[in-house]
Structure 1
Amino acid sequence: MRIKQKDFYVNGLSYIVRSAVEKDAINLSKVRLQVDGETENLDREKGEAYIDESGFKQLIKEDSEIHNNLFLVAEANEKIVGFSRCEGNKLKRMSHKIEFGICVLKEYWGNGIGKNLLKESINFADSNGIKKITLKVLETNIQAIKLYEENGFEVEGILKRDKILSDGNFYNTILMGRFNG
């Protein structure tokens, strides 16, 4: 699915949120690799589960054709600085829900990019009959948890000792969901 581009101006930064297009694939590959190396909030370490240009082209193509998928990018200064993805399920019993994930380059944190990617994804879900959005968030990512709660998400469960971070300690993953109707 695709959405209409939206313009934002936050903290002196002008950026847009729009649907990903195939020409974004090479830049998305680079951004994802960089983000994975900047934070432990995501599942991957830098270079793990690498998606190359052709892999992103395939994702973008599929997501633009499937009615309950959405691939968004945030672009500032003609550069992709973040992205989000909503992925639906083809199984009929789970076709009412999507799973949401987000990545933003660290130097762009604090500019509402994650918040606006989330809000556009919620708008997409609500206007397309999607009844539930799910996501996973690391327990230490307090800022993200607060953002999700402010946007109607609630904790549905905890995956205990789910990840081992660079300090050698185990951390929990929080499962959150937002319901519409």
Structure 2
Amino acid sequence: MKVNEIEFNVRNLQYFIRSANEKDAKSLSEVRLQADGETENLDREKGEAYIDESGFKQIIKDDTESLNNLFLVAEVDQKIVGFSRCEGSNLKRSSHKVEFGVCVLMEYWGFGIGKNLLQQAIHWADTHEIKKITLNVLETNEKAIELYKKCGFEVEGILRKDKFLSDGNYYNTIIMGRVKP
């Protein structure tokens, strides 16, 4: 599904959030690879489960054609600096919900890009047939957990010792959900 472009100005940074299009595929592949290497808050290490340009083109095509999916990008000076996806299901019993994921390059943290991607996804869900948004977040990502709670998400469960990080320790994944009010 597609949404209209929205402009944001935060602390002298102008950025736009809009639906992904096929021309974004190469940049998305590069942004995802870079972001995976910048933080352990994401599921992958740099280079794991790599998606190339053609893979992103297919995801964008599928998401654009699906009523249950939304693929947004954040753009600064015509450069993609982050993205989010809501991925739903065509199965009747699960068609009311989507799973949210987000990725922002570290250089652009602190400008509300992740928050605004999330808020746009929530708005889209609330104005369509989506009743529930779910997400997974690493227990150490306290800023994200706080943001999700402020946006109406609640902890629904914990996957114990779910992620093994570079410090040699295991960490829990928190499962959160937001049901449309």
State whether TM-score is above 0.5: yes
Deviation at 1:54, TM superposition (A): 0.1
Distance 1:20 1:9 in 2: 20
Matched, 1:95 2:98: no
Distance 1:136 1:89 in 2: 17
Distance 2:177 2:52 in 1: 30
Distance 1:82 1:42 in 2: 13
1:162 alignment counterpart:
162
1:16 alignment counterpart:
16
Distance 1:141 1:55 in 2: 28
1:74 alignment counterpart:
74
What code does the residue aligned with 1:116 have? Answer: N
Deviation at 1:164, TM superposition (A): 0.4
Distance 1:107 1:51 in 2: 22
Once the two structures are superposed, what CA deviation does each residue of 1:98-133 show, in whole Å capped at 9, x if it has no partner?
Answer: 000000000000000000000000000000021000
Deviation at 1:157, TM superposition (A): 0.2
Deviation at 1:78, TM superposition (A): 1.2
Once the two structures are superposed, what CA deviation does each residue of 1:9-45 show, in whole Å capped at 9, x if it has no partner?
Answer: 0011000000000000000000000000000001100
* Structure 1 runs not aligned, ≥5 long: none
What code does the residue aligned with 1:136 have? Answer: N
Deviation at 1:162, TM superposition (A): 0.1
2:113 alignment counterpart:
113
* Structure 2 runs not aligned, ≥5 long: none
What code does the residue aligned with 2:161 have? Answer: R
Matched positions, count:
181
Deviation at 1:90, TM superposition (A): 1.2
Matched, 1:25 2:25: yes
Normalising to structure 2: TM-score of the pair? 0.99
1:123 alignment counterpart:
123
Distance 1:74 1:66 in 2: 21
Distance 2:31 2:180 in 1: 31
Matched, 1:53 2:50: no
Distance 2:106 2:122 in 1: 23
What code does the residue aligned with 2:60 have? Answer: I
What code does the residue aligned with 1:60 have? Answer: I
Distance 1:129 1:90 in 2: 12
Normalising to structure 1: TM-score of the pair? 0.99
Once the two structures are superposed, what CA deviation does each residue of 1:51-84 show, in whole Å capped at 9, x if it has no partner?
Answer: 0000000000000000010000000011000000
CA RMSD across the alignment:
0.5
